[in-house]
C-alpha cells in the first residue's frame, strides 16, 4: 500500500466499492488475520464476502497511514463495538457500508463517525422514526411532503448514526448528545447514496478520496 498522510483539522473519507473480482477478494482476504477470516466464514456468503472486502480495505488503508502490515494491526473495541488501533492513538477511524458501497473515515486529531445509506424505500418509515428519532425530527418528517419523506428520513438517519458513532455509541444507545461539540457534513458519495460524517469541533474540513474499483 502506498504511504498515506493525514493532516490536522482534516477528516478523510475514502469511498470504495465492495463488489470486487475474485483475484482482488483473495488479496484482501490474505490481509486479514485468521480470526477475522473465521468470522467471515460464519456469516451468510454474501455478508461474509462484504465483511472480508470491507475489513481488508480498512486494514490496507491503515497500513498506508501507519506502515504496519495489515495482518499485524490490532484493534481495541469500545462498549458499542467501535474499533480503535491498539498501537496508534493518533489515528481515529470509522467505517460504514450500504449495499455494495463502503465508506472509511480517518482523522489524526479527533473522534470521527460516518454512515452511508443507499437511497431506497424505507419500510414502515414512520414506525422506525418513532422508535429512534427525536420529537423535532419526527415533527420535521410529518411536515415533509409524502414524496420527499423517504429522502428526508435517510438524511436524518445518516446524521444521527454518524454522530452516535463519533461519540462511540451504537444504534441502540438513544439519541446523540445534543450538548456535545460535534459537527457533521452531509454528502452524496455516489449517485443514489446519502452519507454523513461527524467529528468533534467545527474547525475541520472534509476531504474525499475515491478508491479504484
Mean pLDDT of 70-93: 92
Q: Which three-class secondary structure state does DSSP give residue 119?
A: coil
Task: Determine, yes or no, domain membership for 138.
Answer: yes
CATH of the domain at 143: 3.90.470.20
Q: Is residue 177 part of a domain?
A: yes
pLDDT at position 22 is 96
pLDDT of residue 213: 66
Average model confidence (pLDDT) across the chain: 93
Mean pLDDT value of segment 164-180: 82
Q: Which domain holds residue 99?
A: 10-210
| Residue 208 burial by Cβ neighbours in a 10 Å radius (0-12, 13-18, 19+) | middle
pLDDT at 179 over 80: no
Instruction: Tell me how far CA of residue 158 lies from CA of 14, 67, 162, 179, in angstroms.
Output: 17, 32, 6, 19
1 — pLDDT class (breaks 50, 70, 90): low
What does the pLDDT read at residue 180? 80
Residue 16 lies in a domain: yes
pLDDT of 77: 93
**pLDDT for 19-51, tens place per residue?**
999 999 999 999 999 999 999 999 999 999 999
Residue 1, in any domain of the structure: no
Classify residue 97: in a domain, yes or no: yes
**How many degrees, rounded to 5, is the angle at CA 155 between CA 57 and CA 46?**
35
Q: Is residue 202 part of a domain?
A: yes
Helices in 67-134 by DSSP H: which ranges? 125-132
Query: Looking at residues 121-143, what average pLDDT do you find?
Result: 88
* pLDDT for residue 42: 97
The reply to whether 2 falls in a domain is no
Number of domains in the chain: 1
| Whether pTM exceeds 0.75 | yes
> Model confidence over 135-148: pLDDT tens digits?
888 898 989 998 99
Q: Which of 23-37, 66-80, 119-133, 154-168 has the lowest mean pLDDT?
A: 119-133
φ/ψ of residue 64, rounded to 5: -60, -35
Mean pLDDT of all residues in 52-67: 97
Q: Edge to edge, what strands does the sheet with 92-98 contain?
A: 92-98, 101-107, 10-17, 205-210
Helix (H) or strand (E) holding 56: helix 45-66
Amino acid at each position: 500500500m502506498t504511504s498515506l498522510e493525514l493532516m490536522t483539522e482534516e477528516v478523510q473519507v475514502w469511498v470504495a466499492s465492495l463488489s470486487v473480482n475474485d483475484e482482488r477478494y483473495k488479496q484482501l482476504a490474505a490481509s486479514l488475520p485468521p480470526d477475522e477470516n473465521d468470522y467471515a466464514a460464519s456469516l451468510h456468503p454474501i455478508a461474509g464476502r462484504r465483511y472480508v472486502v470491507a475489513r481488508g480495505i480498512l486494514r490496507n488503508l491503515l497500513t498506508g497511514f501507519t506502515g504496519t502490515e495489515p495482518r499485524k494491526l490490532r484493534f481495541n473495541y469500545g462498549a458499542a463495538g467501535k474499533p480503535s488501533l491498539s498501537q496508534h492513538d493518533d489515528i481515529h477511524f470509522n467505517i460504514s457500508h450500504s449495499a455494495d458501497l463502503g465508506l472509511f473515515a480517518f482523522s489524526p486529531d479527533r473522534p470521527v463517525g460516518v454512515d452511508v445509506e443507499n437511497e431506497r424505500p424505507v419500510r414502515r418509515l414512520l414506525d422506525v422514526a418513532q422508535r429512534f428519532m427525536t420529537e423535532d425530527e419526527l415533527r420535521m418528517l410529518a411536515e415533509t411532503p409524502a414524496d420527499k419523506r423517504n429522502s428526508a428520513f435517510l438524511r436524518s438517519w445518516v446524521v444521527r448514526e454518524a454522530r452516535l458513532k463519533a461519540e462511540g455509541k451504537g444504534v441502540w444507545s438513544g439519541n446523540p448528545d445534543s450538548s456535545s461539540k460535534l459537527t457533521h457534513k452531509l454528502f452524496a458519495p455516489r449517485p443514489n447514496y446519502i452519507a454523513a460524517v461527524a467529528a468533534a469541533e467545527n474547525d475541520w474540513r472534509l476531504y474525499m478520496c475515491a478508491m479504484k474499483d
